[in-house]
Amino acid sequence: MTLEPTLTAALPPRISELAERIAARGGRALAVGGWVRDQLLGADPADLDIEVHGLSAAELDDMLAEFGPVHLIGRSFAIRRVRGIAADLSWVEPPAGSAPLQDDDLEAHFAQAARRRDLTINAMGFDPLTGRLFDPASGRADLASRHLRFVDEARFGDDPLRAFRVAQLAARLEMAPDDALIALCARQDLASIAGERLMNEWTSLLMLARRPSVALEWLERMDQ
């Protein structure tokens, strides 16, 4: 864990206020995923995702209603959007029987939640109230070495689209998947993915990668 106070200034308006209100109710809000990755790379940031720990779903929805109407997104309603808050908010279910969240518990809570992430570079979290950067899978070191690695082999296949996303990110970020990740991607069934989801990844690749053809080279190495 390191301190990255400069990331706080990069957050969109009202995110610090949101984090303070969540903390006042006993929870904690962390910026996660691609936004943290891109900020550390000095690149144009991806859309902001906020992960909320330490509150029940009802407590979170009640607090968010203070900002405006809450819109639930997705089949499992895992994502929440609120007018005026430039972020997608995801609720992390507390472990069964867990006590109220303490500061010392946050790092362990985040590390457990980060296991469901695809890549180490996407498994970092930033606390806007303390400036702490949580990096349980050493994603920052992988950014520096320009390597892509999976977080949890058993969870990677939760979404086979991740294989295509690895190739897309390899081209866009000019990073190289390691051999273990290439082998894991080769086992994913891209034919099972809905065409609309694949099209979204192709669009990101063509719009954001300097050399989109690099993704095709990685897909070939993955036997995809």
Last residue of a domain, one of 137, 162, 196: 137
pLDDT the model gives residue 45? 84
- Considering the entire predicted model, what is its pTM? 0.91
- For position 167, which CATH number holds? 1.10.110.30
Residue 90 shares a structural domain with residue 188: no
When divided into structural domains, the chain yields a total of 2
pLDDT the model gives residue 10? 87
Last residue of a domain, one of 116, 137, 158: 137
Residue 58 shares a structural domain with residue 158: no
Residue 99 has pLDDT above 60, yes or no: no
Averaged over 89-115, what is the pLDDT?
Answer: 80
pLDDT in tens, 35-75: 999 999 998 888 899 999 999 889 999 999 999 999 988 76
Residue 108 shares a structural domain with residue 153: no
Residue 18 shares a structural domain with residue 114: yes
Averaged over 149-169, what is the pLDDT?
Answer: 96
Residue 97 has pLDDT above 60, yes or no: no
Last residue of a domain, one of 106, 137, 168: 137
Q: Structural domain of residue 59, as residue ranges?
A: 2-137
Whole-angstrom Cα distance, residue 43 to residue 49? 16
**Residues of the chain above pLDDT 70, percent:** 93
Residue 133 shares a structural domain with residue 150: no
pLDDT the model gives residue 94? 74
- For position 108, which CATH number holds? 3.30.460.10
Residue 217 has pLDDT above 60, yes or no: yes
Q: What is the mean pLDDT of the chain?
A: 90
Averaged over 9-15, what is the pLDDT?
Answer: 86
DSSP per-residue codes, the chain: -EE-THHHHHSPTTHHHHHHHHHHTT-EEEEETHHHHHHHHTSPPPPPEEEEESS-HHHHHHHHTTTS-EEEESTT--EEEETT--SEEEEPPPPTTPPSP-HHHHHHHHHHHHTTSSBGGG--EEETTTTEEE-TT-HHHHHHHTEE-BS-HHHHTTSTTHHHHHHHHHHHHT-EE-HHHHHHHHTS-GGGS-HHHHHHHHHHHHHH-S-THHHHHHHHHTT-
pLDDT in tens, 182-196: 999 999 999 999 999
Residue 27 shares a structural domain with residue 133: yes
Residue 128 shares a structural domain with residue 163: no
pLDDT the model gives residue 187? 96
Residue 37 shares a structural domain with residue 111: yes
Residue 125 shares a structural domain with residue 196: no
Residue 115 shares a structural domain with residue 21: yes
**Pick from 38-47, 67-76, 84-93, 206-215: least confident:** 67-76
Residue 130 shares a structural domain with residue 191: no
Residue 17 shares a structural domain with residue 53: yes
Structure tokens at 160: 């086979």
pLDDT in tens, 105-147: 889 889 999 999 999 999 999 999 999 999 999 999 999 999 9
